[in-house]
Chain A
Amino acid sequence: DTGVSQDPRHKITKRGQNVTFRCDPISEHNRLYWYRQTLGQGPEFLTYFQNEAQLEKSRLLSNRFSAERPKGSFSTLEIQRTEQGDSAMYLCASSLHRDYSTQYFGPGTRLTVL
């Protein structure tokens, strides 16, 4: 399968713990995006990378959130000191630079903070 992959698919953690999610984009895609989706809502943009550079961050991305894409391939999203309000589906998407509108999503990581 050559689509976007995410790991883990599900994560249950206790409030105050740190969690890290991984995203592997489609291999030739140099743009990578993170979105968050809460129940009953559409996805909301968090941040995006072009290669290894993080070029835009949403106001939703509080200082407890950090994303990296060190080698311009896979990306990680870390949430420190998780709160119950962080419970959501975290989606990763990727696109080609020349066709950045057409974003392909991964299966998501469902985070539950107890």
Chain B
Amino acid sequence: GQQLNQSPQSMFIQEGEDVSMNCTSSSIFNTWLWYKQDPGEGPVLLIALYKAGELTSNGRLTAQFGITRKDSFLNISASIPSDVGIYFCAGQLKGAQKLVFGQGTRLTINP
């Protein structure tokens, strides 16, 4: 099946640092989404991207839809303890209904 390569797999940072993670694929996606998942909970939608080159912010979060339509990145500025969790990228191929997810990036913050 389709694979999304998400990196890094884990990050250990200090509170206040900026964070960057990305997702790449060999396939062209029509939509990219970023979710955050806390232990024992479902993924929560953070940002949705619909056009190549699109740059969208949600508070301290910024995500971009790559020009090639094969990648996306998520940045978190000035991290705080509640940013801890697993971040997933998800993509949707043209004409497809399902989302394809990356493996996740586990973010740990040292206060």
Q: Which residues of A contact B (CB under 8 A)?
A: 4, 6, 31, 33, 35, 40-45, 48, 55-56, 58, 91, 100-108, 110
Chain A contact residues: helix, strand, loop or mixed: strand
Interface residues of B (CB under 8 A from A): 4, 6, 30-31, 33, 35, 40-45, 48, 50, 88, 90, 92, 97-104
A43–B50 Cα gap in the complex (Å)?
21
Asked whether A43 and B97 contact (CB < 8 A) given A101-B31, A101-B92, A102-B48, the answer is no
Least distance between A80 CB and chain B CB atoms (Å): 23
Partner of B33, one of A40, A55, A102, A106: A102
Q: Could you list 7 further interchain pairs (A-B, Cβ under 8 angstroms) beyond the known A41-B104, A44-B101?
A: A6-B42, A42-B102, A43-B88, A43-B99, A91-B42, A103-B45, A105-B35
Complex: A106 Cα to B102 Cα, angstroms: 19
A84 to B67, CA, bound (A): 43
CA distance A45 to B48 in the complex (A): 18
Decide: A43 and B101 in contact? CB cutoff 8 A: yes
Contacts of B90 in A (CB 8 A): 42
A-B contact pairs, 13 of them (CB 8 A): A40-B103, A42-B4, A44-B101, A45-B99, A91-B42, A100-B97, A101-B33, A101-B92, A104-B45, A105-B44, A106-B42, A107-B42, A108-B41
